[in-house]
Amino acid sequence: MAHEPQHPYGDVWESREERPRRVHRTDWMALLSGILFIVLGIGFVGGDIGDPLTTALPALVAGLGLAGFVAVIARVTRRK
């Protein structure tokens, strides 16, 4: 009895129509936190942020708070 060779990545679909569609939800907390840290990093490297305690720390806390709020609102609206 001969076995058909299996593809190393699982089933190989003949066409796009045969492949099941995967839906990924956006992780708003991770996305907005990443953007916040990138912007703060650019500010540090560019020299636009003078004193980190008076400028960056409040921006970091406010940005993470906003990202958390958006994530909670997105989760609540998805459940409805």
Q: Which of 72, 78, 66 is nearest to 33 (CA)?
A: 66
Predicted confidence at residue 36, as pLDDT, reads 92
Q: What is the pTM of this model?
A: 0.62
Please count the other Cβ atoms lying within 10 Å of the Cβ belonging to residue 29: 17
The pLDDT tens digits for 18-63 are: 667 777 788 889 999 999 999 988 988 888 887 878 888 898 999 9
Predicted confidence at residue 3, as pLDDT, reads 62
SS3 category, 80: coil
